[in-house]
Structure 1
């Protein structure tokens, strides 16, 4: 069922965009002027976009079979920055019913969301100084947000300041690089990457930040331990026999496709992605002879 939905969405021309969070940043620890982060995609938690975001969360949850790999021990306050449709925040609130869970994003939660009584929402611009007291959370979670932040290593210090000693920072992101186990990637993928990476670099952000998270967390000297798991997300379901990993790969494939559609539609030629380039990408990621994957990096770090 899920795989059928994923295939239908990637074949359509709908703007199914990867919006885990319209992420913003403060470029240093001192308060900075308010502005807008370089997030070029449409932001919505309705309709197809909401279903896509929820599919992504539930696909990851099915693979993990838990909220996080971090050994959380009855946290009392949990913050999710970049809550999107609120799926992770709801799961956290249900997993820890005695904890106060705060979901924060620039866009409101869906009006139809069944919000647990221990979950509240904070609408905020991540460029602003945080509206939270330092050291006031046991857990801070961000998924697919760091990829939109200039100088993400500096932002790690801001996140660490929100944690109590012994608290956990959960950062999860992708290394936006398609790898082929059998051969070099094809011309369609190469052409799309040239446009996408050029656009992202002009915004001052790094699409390969996922692979750097662990090193950045260790360099920060804010944590007593830093752990990481790398999940290979296969574009071709035949690359793995794990049904949960097959579903996760399909979901990520149509989400990434939506990123390129969103850039193309919202920023036009500046995005460096044309319909012809997008069609070439789709041919190659759906080629059954290829063994393409993108790696997802999940990290959990314990605050000193």
Structure 2
């Protein structure tokens, strides 16, 4: 596959269908996504996810919705014998040069995925399913790409947990965002639904789930978790601000006002905030062949 820089963007891809800024046009989004990846990487002692992968011997790895490319670049480094394919609706940032065993491809996850069934040992997506329309269908398409014995790794948020544990300003902002996302066919509660969707397929012999209740105020007894929470706090504020800018471009700025965003930020910044953000990590081992 040719390098990312030589691949033209297909005309049929409509990046406006997604409610976050494109990394190709927004350096702040690149920085935000890189920071989020590096924060999790540190929390997992340098690992790619919540589950140990040291015994895996993948030949092909696919990342769906690669964003800044940070996870795919690390996967290529951790598994130098594997070929890593990173896909997204937006191109990788210009300064990202894929390593020798990583390639990039433009893919719209709403359409049929341009890969043979059962052709990857590991398929991964982080914070993707909450942002794509009809995520259940996308998960099914992703599952079909996993080889028997391979892994489907899905990591995602449940933003309702943030609403449920927040004060009035946090609830108002998050509830409005969940409403707006539903208008586009997306579900900001997808994290807690992943296990059920994977189980419904009947294609996986084992499904592991780890839920991390991330304390945005850093009030836990675990210092590593507090560090993750405080970092998540900063990134969550950036996420909401970025969503406000993006929605303004879609003519929906009145749905998420500056006053609403500012109230959200101020409430999260208060000392002793008890707001929790639930993050779900799922690792599903492919079993029988799909007929």
Q: Shared topology, TM-score over 0.5? A: yes
Identify the match of residue 194 of structure 1 among 175, 180, 184.
175
* Offset from partner CA, 1:183-224 (integer Å, 9 cap, x none): 963221122123212211211221111011111111111111
Which moved further from structure 2: 35-44 or 105-114? 35-44
> Considering only aligned residues, what root-mean-square deviation do their CA atoms show, in Å?
2.2
In the alignment, structure 2 segments of 5+ residues that lack a partner are 1-11
Contact 2:13 2:89 survives alignment (8 Å)? no
1:210 to 163, 167, 191: 191
Contact 1:260 1:273 in 2 (8 A): no
CA separation in 2, counterparts of 1:274 and 1:155? Answer: 31
Matches within 5 A, 1:121-160: 121-160=104-143
- Give the structure-2-normalised TM-score: 0.85
* Cα distance, 1:107–1:265 mapped onto 2, change above 3 Å: same
**1:270 counterpart residue number:** 252
Contact 2:165–2:276, Cα closer than 8 Å, also in 1 = no
1:43 is matched with 22
2:148 aligned with 1:165: yes
Residues 147 and 210, structure 1, Cα contact 8 Å, conserved in 2: yes
Distance (Å, rounded) in 2 between the aligned partners of 1:188 and 1:204: 25
**Displacement after TM superposition at 1:282 (Å):** 1.4
The 1:233/1:184 distance shift into structure 2, 3 A limit, reads closer
* Alignment TM-score, normalising by the size of structure 1: 0.81
Aligned pairs for 1:1-304 (under 5 A) are: 38-45=17-24, 47-65=27-45, 66-68=47-49, 69=51, 71=53, 72-179=55-162, 185-243=166-224, 245-268=225-248, 270-271=252-253, 272-304=255-287
Contact 2:19/2:131 (8 A) holds in 1:
no
Measured in 1, the distance between the counterparts of 2:137 and 2:28 equals 34
Q: How many residues align?
A: 269
Report the alpha carbon displacement of residue 178 of structure 1 after superposing the two structures with TM.
4.1
- Between the aligned partners of 1:235 and 1:215, the Cα distance in structure 2 is 27
Return the structure number with greater relative CO, CA threshold 8 A, min gap 6: 1
Q: CA 1:184 to 1:222, structure 2 compared with 1: closer, same or farther past 3 Å?
A: closer
Kept in 1, the 8 Å contact 2:15–2:90? The answer is: no
- The CA deviation at 1:266 is 2.7
Q: Deviations over 1:77-108 (max 9, x none)?
A: 00001111111111111111111111111222
Contact 2:166–2:274 under 8 Å retained in 1:
no
| Range with bigger deviation, 279-288 or 40-49 | 40-49
Q: Distance in 2 between matches of 1:184 and 1:44?
A: 30
Stretch of structure 1 that moved more, 202-211 or 183-192: 183-192
In structure 2, do the counterparts of structure 1 residues 179 and 43 end up closer, same or farther at CA, with 3 Å as the change threshold?
closer
Q: Is the 8 A contact 1:178 1:293 kept in 2?
A: yes
Deviation at 1:34? Answer: 7.3
Q: Judge which range, 146-155 or 132-141, deviates more.
A: 146-155
C-alpha contact (below 8 Å) 2:148/2:286 kept by paired residues: yes
